Structure 1
Amino acid sequence: MPTLPLLNPNEERVEIFLTELMKINSCTGNEEDLSAALTVYFKATGWHVLQQPLKSDPKRHNLLVTKTPYIAPGPRYVLNTHMDTVPPYIAPAYDGTKITGRGANDAKGWDMF
């Protein structure tokens, strides 16, 4: 099994964090590595993570990430996004002023917040 990419919980430069996030191939149906990396990252930074498997495909799941353990009927505010990108995978490139690649202006850009 390949080593999962790690997202540095101490990274303060958003452009570096975003390009690391974009390096994880998450084309539709292949989100497991991104989900695993985000789970490790959020837990390392003090968040609670609940994985919600999809009934249609239990290997795929949503992540519910909260500052405190989730107890229904909360939370009161929800930020919603998706983890997949459309194929083909396009690796990120950062030239010092702009970031290009699959996910730069889609969900991965939003995921980093």
Structure 2
Amino acid sequence: MANWNDIKLNVSRAANKTIKKAGELADSASMNIKLKTLNAKLGDRFEVLGKLTYKQLKFDTSHAEEISKVIAEIDELREQIKQLKEKIAEAKEERQKSAEDVKIDEENEETEE
């Protein structure tokens, strides 16, 4: 039968792993929600760009200044999306590395017993 200290240690390790994993999942979910929000904003800006372009071509009026502003907003959103995707990829790699480290630790613990 395992002694009390071993049981406490195992429970403590499990709790710490659970807390860490929950935090990682919350961060991941938050970044993915932000990505969806940015993509929705990007779609809205493309819609505005399309409407302005249509008006400019249909009614032969210049909306160049407004179009330039919308294009700048689109470029900014695309850059934010790119950076966020990179951050999500880095977090995913870190989670995978962490999972591999945990697996190695567990295998080492099993061989020690």
TM-score tier by shorter-chain length is under 0.3
Find the structure with the greater CA-based Rg.
2
Hey, which of these two has a bigger chunk of helix by percent?
A: 2
Hey, which of these two has a bigger chunk of strand by percent?
A: 1
| TM-score between both structures, scaled by the size of structure 2 | 0.19
